[in-house]
Amino acid sequence: MTRVTPEDVRRRRFGPAPFGPHGYHPAQVDAFCARIADTMAGLDRLTVADIRLVEFDGPPPGHRGYDIEQVDDFLDHLCMELEYLRLGRSRLPAGRTHDPLTHDDVLRIQFSTPPYGFPGYMADEVAVFLDRLAATLAHHGPNGLTPEDVRATTFNLAPDGVPAYHRDEVDAFLDLVVQQLSTACCAEPHQPRAHS
């Protein structure tokens, strides 16, 4: 598949939320997607942290909002797109909703170091998780990772001088993994993250 373009992001629309009072404010989501598109085109400076921490109001009275799960999933994928654009690397094939992660994707993923002055996750602990995830995707066995395992995964913050990975990048990746494993095993529905 071709990569996501700024125009793809700008034109993206989402289905209505299943219940009237719930969902995200459509105009706010559209405006934020426009900012992401501008960032991808070099006209704005949103970061992965900005995307992960964004909050949307509920829909206006009498209107249905955008489906929370659809918006969250799309933003998760855009986090990865932005990181790979920023780092100038080949993106993960999972940058699109319909492209599942593979064993090879996991083996070649690289996270950046945390910004100066900010702690990151211990690189060795993240590497152990990636090895287990790669094995899960390669074998699909009964002892592989489940969505619940990934949701419960925590990494210690690295002390000064210890190799570390950018927390927002790793967290965005974990969200993608939960989504894929949930789809694969028909587990419980995706739970919305902090975009509420």
> Comparing 17-21, 58-62, 96-100, 135-139, which segment has the lowest mean pLDDT?
96-100
> Comparing 44-53, 141-150, 181-190, which segment has the lowest mean pLDDT?
181-190
Residue range 60-78: average pLDDT? 88
- Is the Cβ–Cβ distance between 73 and 97 less than 8 Å? yes
Predicted confidence at residue 95, as pLDDT, reads: 40
In this prediction the pTM is: 0.52
**What amino acid is encoded at 87 in this protein?**
L
DSSP strand E in 26-160: where?
121-122
pLDDT band at 21 (very low <50, low <70, confident <90, very high): low
Predicted confidence at residue 93, as pLDDT, reads: 42
pLDDT in tens, 93-129: 444 444 567 787 787 777 888 878 889 999 999 999 9
Helix (H) or strand (E) holding 8: helix 6-11
Does 194 score more than 60 pLDDT?
A: no
Burial of 37 (0-12, 13-18, 19+ CB in 10 A): buried
pLDDT band at 80 (very low <50, low <70, confident <90, very high): confident
Distance of CA 76 to the CA centre of its chain: 3
What is the average pLDDT score of the chain?
A: 80
